[in-house]
Amino acid sequence: MIAPRAAMAGGSGVRKGAADRIKVLAFRYWIGQRGDGKGWQEALWTLADGWWPMPSNSLLQWRGVRAAVLDEIEAAHAHVGGTARGRRYATQQINRAYAVLLSSEFQGFCRDLYSECMDHVVATAPVTTQGVIRTQFLWARSLDRGNPQAGGIDSDFGRFALPFWDEVYALNALNDRRRVLLDELMGWRNAIAHNDFDRAVFGPHPVLHFGEVQAWRSALNSLCRSFDTVMRSHLNGMLGAEPWPA
């Protein structure tokens, strides 16, 4: 279940509040009160939400509860100290667990966003037909059956009558590269989950580096924002109203 979104006032007050909060976050980052190094990331998200429409509940969950889950495994990696061989083995297992968890949380975000969009579309239909429409939206949904593969995401969100990835690419030229990183994550996720590492792809001794998983997470952060923006714009045009207004 998606948690309720916190209320936010609109207009210049929002932008001023966002700017003020950015100053505080930046200050904390530089003086070391934000030891996790995420001060600027939070500041940029605050800026975006101050100048652009309120994000969906799904995106807020990704940045909140889901981010906290991922941060926990990053913290576990940091706490495995030393340089001995045992440490390298332990961190490798953490890196692999991190990749699988990242895939899982991203799938949860995509499923949440799809359901949130579905709810807004269904709500515009007559009450007597809402159950039928909802059933059709949920029938054979890829995000319920498989991993968040790019093709499955495109198929699911395409039910809202838009060329999903084309819209995502058009929004930001970097999203093409981010999709490639998503594909890399899915390849590793499947190999880890099934203990099936294709030597032609991963080599004889597959090693997953922490920085690689962090790069995937960074790419997914941007894709989540783009997915949110694309679906907001599309539903606004379809329904004639903002799906999750500020």
pLDDT in tens, 12-29: 443 444 445 544 444 444
Q: What are phi and psi of 52, to 5 degrees?
A: -110, 170
- CB-facing half-sphere around the CA of 168: CA atoms within 13 A: 24
Of 72, 62, 83, 63, the residue nearest 36 (C-alpha): 72
Quote the pLDDT of residue 7: 37
Give the CA distances from residue 186 to residues 39, 125, 228, in Å, rounded to whole numbers and listed in that order: 29, 36, 21
Q: Dump pLDDT digits (tens) for 19-59.
A: 455 444 444 444 444 445 554 555 454 444 444 567 899 99
Quote the pLDDT of residue 18: 47
Quote the pLDDT of residue 86: 54
Q: Dump pLDDT digits (tens) for 71-125.
A: 999 999 888 855 455 566 689 999 999 999 999 999 999 999 999 999 999 999 9
The answer, yes or no, to whether residue 163 has pLDDT greater than 50, is yes
The pTM (predicted TM-score) of the whole model is 0.80
Quote the pLDDT of residue 32: 45
